[in-house]
Amino acid sequence: MPSDPGLAARVLDKLNKVETKKGDTWPILVLAALESQEALDAAIATPTPSGSKTRVKAKATAAAPQVAYLRSITVEGFRGVGKQVALELPPGPGLTLVMGRNGSGKSSFAEGLELLLTGETYRWLNRARAWKDGWRNLHHPHAAIQAEFSLQGESKPCALVLEWKEGDPLESGSRTAQIRGKERMDTAALGWDEPLRSYRPCLSYNELGSMLDEGPSKLYDGLAAILGLDELVTAQDRLRDARLLREKAHKAAAEMQAKIVAALRASFADDDRAREVVAALDKKEWDLEKVERVLAGSTAGAGQDETALGTLQRLAALAAPSTEDIDRAAERLKKADEAQRALAGTIASRARQLADLLDRALAFHDAHGDGACPVCDRDGALSAPWHKKKREASAFREAASAATSAGNEADAARKAVMALIVPPRQVVERAASVGLDKPGAIALQAVSDWQSVLSGAAGSELAGLARKIEMASLALRRAVDALREAATAELARREDRWRPLAVQLAQWVSVARDAVRGAAAIPAIKSAEKWLKDTAGELRDERFGPIADRAQAICDELLRGSNVKVAQIHLTGSCPRASSTPSP
């Protein structure tokens, strides 16, 4: 809040009378801007929403400066003064004139007092180093400036002393204050530093004229300081700079966004990632989350496998049966075929069927007793003597075990063939959609031939099936390898094009997030800026009123008897101030 208690009270009174809406944060920004740059930055970063009314309190203000009257100035070794010389003055209100011939030291005393109280002199401000290097009197080794003041409420005078060691530069002087009979203290304890910025102890004609010569901005600052409103001007500057910084950041992000979208449209029309990024950015509110998902390799729309990139990735991962798998399956078929051929024409080939038939006949005799054969109708075929052949059925079963094993192995060999890898046909069919027409067509034909071989495996002769899978798998591997290599190359080509833009896009997303967050605060900053500007204008008119009235009276007196009349004196307009905000 302003250090001027009266100004702080007026600002708070006006702010507390404002009808705010629920969620308004601009009153907080007004207070923070009046506080400090750090407070404003923190308030913008973490705004505290106000309710329907914003009630604020003034913070404790610094003690009022002590009223003082100049008693004397003593100068030694400074500019045109060598040995110590004192200028005594009558302390008290009113105008004191110091007159003397040229070269008598008037300027040395005036500039010495200005340097003692403010730490600088207007005459040397913004001048070349050579102007400052001549401050010390070359004919006197010791340099010091002292001024005595009568302080209101103090019976003893207060002395301010500024002195330098021999050879020290102008900026190295040490400054102290001491009330006679008391300990030395820092000059800041007098409370004069802030008032001296607005009410300089020495104001030359040239310095006064410079307020008009240096343009409207300098004049505006000077009037604001004279009226005690410079802290409101500083707060306005903070709000303006905060707004401009965020507007520039968002504008820069928007310009980069336009370039990125244009580049994506021009060079990445065949890339699904580019199309998704364009869809996310080509609207009023950027979908930065979607952009980050694309950069991370995930998509929120169609399934990944349905995209061109997903298709290429699956084609690059295609697999065909390995040579080892084919050799193992063919060898197993051949051995099963040899085993079956070895049993052909032997009892083993008939033993299993005959054993099953006798088992059923014996079961029938057990159930129905002696009688005719139910198959040939021969009388007495089923009898006790016949039953002895039961032992022969066990022998048939033993002979049948070899045939059963051979049959089971043949079935297992066929199933092993049908379990061999089949490249997914639906993936191979999409090869043409990503520009791999020729290798895709060859691979598709090889997959069809391979599927035909496997689908006919159940009824195929074993040795012939072995030859078929050996030939078909060789063509399949060649076609799949060629398609996989083509897909891998196309993926690499697309990645080489995409990677530089993806890096740029990732960097932009970080900047864009900051810009979006900053832009969200702009409306509140504008509201705070407008309210403070309007309020500063009202307070300026209030404080300028007595000055205008006095100037009006002087003009009326000077123009008595003249036809010229001054109708009204007032301040209008606002100061066009240049921003010092750095570009983002």
User: Could you report the per-residue pLDDT of 299-323, keeping only the tens digit for each?
Assistant: 444 445 567 888 888 999 999 999 9
Q: Which among 317, 318, 334, 315 has a CA at the least distance from the CA of 470?
A: 334
pLDDT of residue 574: 60
Cα torsion 113, 115, 121, 123 to 10°: value is 60
pLDDT-derived band of residue 373, with 50, 70 and 90 as boundaries? Answer: confident
Amino acid at 104: S
Q: Note the pTM of the prediction, 2 decimals.
A: 0.57
User: What residues form DSSP beta bridges with 160?
Assistant: 147, 177
Tokens representing 187 are 């000059």
Judge whether 334 and 463 are in contact, CB under 8 Å: yes
pLDDT of residue 458: 83
Distance CA 494, CA 432 (A): 16
Distance CA 523, CA 5 (A): 30
* Placement of tokens 């500007």 in the chain: 533
Tokens representing 492 are 């690499």
pLDDT of residue 77: 92
Q: Which among 220, 238, 201 has a CA at the least distance from the CA of 36?
A: 238
Superfamily of domain 68-226: P-loop containing nucleotide triphosphate hydrolases (3.40.50.300)
Q: Is the pLDDT of residue 251 over 90?
A: yes
Q: DSSP assignment, residue 72?
A: E
Residues of the chain with CATH 3.40.50.300: 68-226
Q: What is the pLDDT of residues 520-578, one digit of tens each?
A: 999 999 999 999 988 888 888 887 788 788 888 888 888 888 888 877 776 666 655 54
Q: Which among 24, 30, 38 has a CA at the least distance from the CA of 8?
A: 30
User: What residues form DSSP beta bridges with 148?
Assistant: 72, 159
Q: What is the pLDDT of residues 200-239, one digit of tens each?
A: 677 665 666 665 566 666 666 666 666 667 788 888 999 9
Residue environment code for 561-581, b if the CB has 16+ CB neighbours within 10 A, otherwise e: eeeeeeeeeeeeeeeeeeeeb
Q: Give me the long-range contacts of 194-199 (CB less than 8 A, separation at least 24).
A: 194/3, 194/62, 194/65, 195/65, 196/117, 196/118, 197/225, 197/230, 198/225, 198/226, 198/228, 198/230
